[in-house]
Structure 1
């Protein structure tokens, strides 16, 4: 984002620019606003009676947005094996990520006990580093689903029947290829459709 845009935002919102930094990802300059710093101070946790502090962002807003978007995978699927049983799974996680996955049934069964992976927090090591280490040790669900019928190839879904390759959808039947179907029937190649039937290549539709 251009310097002039940041200055316009600062003036328009009456939000002082405290410092300028160079993004470690794209090398573009970006500002740290006063309200950014106030937020960091507000959300900083107190551990053992001591107020912790957050450093200001190392990446520009655009690169931070890209990181958030990359983190939420809904469209890329992989073949994986259960870390518990070796069962072949449909997974959100690439084998290259080194994140162990298990089926939903295994995740909620007595065969899986997440407590055995517990460890004390090391206050001398970045909490994000420690979380990253746990991510590569503790098995997670290959996909996120609940109470579906015949909807194996879906994720972020619940209470659906006979659906295929949809995500972020609930209470649907006979739908395929899309995102955010809500209480729909026989819809295909759509996104953000609600209380609808027999739609094809539609977006942002409500009954």
Structure 2
């Protein structure tokens, strides 16, 4: 198990690279731009302190499977969680499927949304998927480095696949990486593990 001193040392080493990076953006908007680096940009809103460890740009790999799929797939993913000083975080995720050799097969899931912490420690997570699905999650921090959420409502367009519920668990693991697991009830299946990933911080 990693000691506190080891974790601090590892974070400082990562920051030597990640702390000098941020989201590429034009700088001529008349309002504050988003930042995924807490060292830069507008002041972080105190209402979001329970979500502070999530802020950054994360990249890594995971695996997706489901009973309705012919096989499981490896995927790569980038998740950007940023803020503009107001009491919410912006969430954007892009994924791409990989073959057995790690080469890109094709673009995969995309989602965007908002983490909205509430005064009673409840977290609202609103996500819109490129597949025509809109989800409203509610949850609470499990501790200072883990967050568990489940859907309260799922809306889908007429062309989207059937999805009735989902659960997600996010956590910062001992080495500072972001891990998550997701379960879904869709296409006639009960709540079933669907995907998981481990992502390294590249910004922040």
Please say whether Structure 1 and Structure 2 have the same fold, judged by a TM-score greater than 0.5: no
More strand by share: 2
Q: What is the TM-score normalised by the length of structure 1? A: 0.20
Q: What is the TM-score normalised by the length of structure 2? A: 0.20
Higher-Rg member (1/2): 1
Which structure exhibits the higher relative contact order, with contacts defined as CA atoms closer than 8 Å and separated by 6 or more residues? 2
More helix by share: 1
